[in-house]
């Protein structure tokens, strides 16, 4: 399928809807030649599969971090007409609202380096991590309903943050209209989620103490409160077992829905339901519950991260300048309105392993950032860099206000485990002066830096295409993994 791609410019590739039968729209890939050369043909085929679903809005998009995934590639965007299109659990993903937040400090490398080992140990002890990890908060059934209704706002109302944190979260830290009980949200999902609030989990989730290494755009960096040599904290996690169970439940119910509504599928992983059907709207409401859980999860961990810094540096978090820069979400479906061919269209927009990147002036952006655009947080890997970018007007015109979300895997977790040894990864990172704590060494093999694409190449592609622009880069000093 890759041979049918047509290069439009240095960072854009087009796949016409004539590339295979049943495609309703064309597909676009953002990426340099180097990105295209390493992109799996199977991922390109998955883009064409999505283009065959009912009611897509052109184009189906893949970002430079794209790789083969469940149904839709990770690192992809699929927009569907609000009336004639579909909503798909597979196109949203299992880890609903897997996202990233960045916390700045007024500390320098010189302040932190002598206490780095102590700081990482403190964070590791305060933030529960690992497969099946359980949090320190014990919730009643009614309290859990409040969590999935109010998201990060629940944490703020329960003294685990301040109102300014909500202002710097995508969607204000929660989505209205979340389902809370069966039949939309199963009792099994609630049982899995209730003990996991405030937990990092495992896989590619992490907590990193980072140093701002480079500033690419001084004026925008100043608006975001970033400067060279500054210490920041990046947190990456999602909705844990709660979101995974909701995805699992609706993959089953949507498998029934496709037969009920006579929807042809090229891949059973793309099970879906008409956007306005009871099945589609039930999923959308349940998905919002998982979205809100994830926002609250990150907020609770932010509270414990701030406490960890307080314990190590003997000052309150406010005096340490530990304010939230922003919190972005991946793996989500949203009702949005975008201009398409000069006309405004309502759509259900699936961003799977993709980040919202709204440009300047958008009312969805916090007021203090609105003049420059939305912060975009791009996670790297343990041994490389992460980035802060800013959304652009070009993204609004071309990619439904979307960009990449990270480096993107270059090999599967199983392949990484076969190739790398966790102890060797840990030793190599510590030889470079980094402090690494994890629940085991296997996870370090899964997340080996070389198991990912080159994050610099990925970011250069979205920067070159002007769908988000580089503001700053950070390198990890201390890493906490599940």
Computed over every residue of the chain, the mean pLDDT equals: 95
Per-residue pLDDT at 375 exceeds 80: yes
Catalytic residue among 205, 350, 405, 463: 405
Q: Which residues pair with 345 in a beta bridge?
A: 338
What does the block give as tokens for 85? 């299109």
Per-residue CA distances from 379 to 330, 395, 408 (Å): 12, 19, 9
Would you say residue 423 lies in a domain?
Answer: no
Q: What's the rounded mean pLDDT across residues 411-415?
A: 81
Would you say residue 217 lies in a domain?
Answer: yes
Would you say residue 67 lies in a domain?
Answer: yes
Residue 405 annotated in active site: yes
pLDDT in tens, 248-295: 999 999 999 999 999 999 999 999 999 999 999 999 999 999 999 999
Would you say residue 418 lies in a domain?
Answer: no
Would you say residue 433 lies in a domain?
Answer: no
Which pLDDT value is given to residue 445? 83
Would you say residue 157 lies in a domain?
Answer: yes
Per-residue pLDDT at 59 exceeds 90: yes
How sure is the predictor about 392, in pLDDT bands with cuts at 50, 70 and 90? very high
Would you say residue 435 lies in a domain?
Answer: no
Q: What's the rounded mean pLDDT across residues 455-466?
A: 97
Higher per-residue pLDDT: 135 or 104: 104
Cβ-count burial 231-270 (b if 16+ within 10 Å, e if not): bbbbbbbbbbbbbbbbbbbbbebbeebbeebebebbbebb
Q: Which CATH number does the domain housing residue 475 bear?
A: 3.90.1860.10
How sure is the predictor about 220, in pLDDT bands with cuts at 50, 70 and 90? very high
Which pLDDT value is given to residue 431? 83
Cβ-count burial 286-306 (b if 16+ within 10 Å, e if not): bbbbbbbbbbbbbbbbbbbbb
Q: Which residues pair with 436 in a beta bridge?
A: 479
Percentage of the residues of the chain whose pLDDT score is greater than 70: 100
pLDDT in tens, 208-219: 999 999 999 999
Gap between the Cα atoms of 465 and 223, Å rounded: 23
> How much is the pTM?
0.96
Gap between the Cα atoms of 397 and 359, Å rounded: 10
Number of domains in the chain: 1
Would you say residue 394 lies in a domain?
Answer: yes
Gap between the Cα atoms of 314 and 211, Å rounded: 21
Q: Which residues pair with 391 in a beta bridge?
A: 468
Domain containing 51 equals 2-410+452-481
Cβ neighbourhood burial of 138 (10 Å; 0-12, 13-18, 19+): exposed
């Amino acid at each position: 399928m890759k041979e049918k791609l047509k290069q439009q410019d240095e960072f854009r590739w087009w796949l016409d809807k004539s590339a295979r039968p049943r495609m309703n729209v064309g597909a676009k890939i953002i990426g340099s030649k180097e990105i295209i050369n390493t992109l799996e043909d199977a991922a390109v085929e998955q883009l064409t599969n999505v283009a065959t679903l009912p009611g897509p809005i052109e184009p189906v998009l893949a970002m430079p971090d794209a790789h083969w995934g469940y149904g839709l590639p990770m690192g992809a965007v699929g927009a569907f007409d609000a009336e004639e299109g579909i909503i798909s659990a597979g196109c949203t993903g299992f880890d609903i609202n897997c996202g990233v937040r960045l916390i700045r400090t007024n500390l320098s490398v010189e302040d932190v380096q002598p206490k780095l080992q102590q700081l990482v140990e403190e964070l590791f002890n305060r933030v529960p991590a690992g497969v099946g990890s359980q949090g320190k908060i014990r919730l009643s059934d009614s309290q859990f309903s409040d969590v999935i209704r109010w998201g990060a706002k629940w944490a703020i109302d329960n003294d685990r943050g301040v109102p300014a944190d909500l202002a710097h979260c995508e969607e204000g830290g929660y989505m209205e209209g979340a389902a809370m009980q069966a039949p939309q949200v199963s009792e099994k999902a609630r049982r899995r989620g209730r003990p996991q609030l405030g937990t990092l989990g495992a896989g590619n989730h992490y907590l990193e103490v980072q140093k701002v290494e480079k500033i690419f755009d001084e004026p925008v960096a100043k608006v975001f409160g970033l400067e060279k040599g500054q210490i920041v904290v990046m947190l990456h996690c999602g909705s844990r077992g709660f979101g995974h169970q909701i995805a699992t439940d609706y993959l089953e119910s949507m498998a029934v829905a496709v037969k009920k509504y006579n929807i042809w599928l090229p891949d059973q992983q793309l099970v879906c339901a008409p956007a306005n059907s009871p099945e589609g709207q039930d999923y959308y409401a349940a998905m919002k519950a998982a979205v809100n859980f994830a926002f609250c999860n990150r907020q609770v961990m932010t509270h414990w991260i701030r406490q960890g810094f307080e314990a190590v540096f003997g000052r309150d978090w406010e005096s340490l300048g530990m304010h939230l820069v922003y919190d972005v979400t991946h793996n989500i479906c949203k009702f949005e309105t975008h201009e398409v061919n000069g006309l405004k269209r309502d759509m259900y927009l699936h961003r799977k392993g993709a980040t919202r990147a709204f440009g300047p002036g958008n009312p969805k952006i916090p007021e203090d950032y609105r003049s420059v655009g939305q912060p975009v947080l791009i996670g790297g890997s343990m041994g490389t860099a992460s980035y802060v970018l800013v959304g652009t007007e070009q993204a609004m015109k071309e990619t439904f206000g979307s960009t990449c979300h990270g480096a993107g895997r270059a090999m599967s977790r199983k392949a990484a485990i076969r190739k790398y040894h966790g102890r060797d990864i840990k030793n190599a990172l510590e030889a470079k002066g980094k402090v690494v704590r994890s629940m085991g060494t296997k996870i370090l093999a899964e997340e080996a830096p070389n198991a990912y694409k080159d994050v610099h190449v990925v970011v250069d592609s979205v920067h070159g295409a002007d769908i988000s622009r580089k503001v700053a880069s950070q390198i990890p000093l201390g890493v906490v993994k599940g």
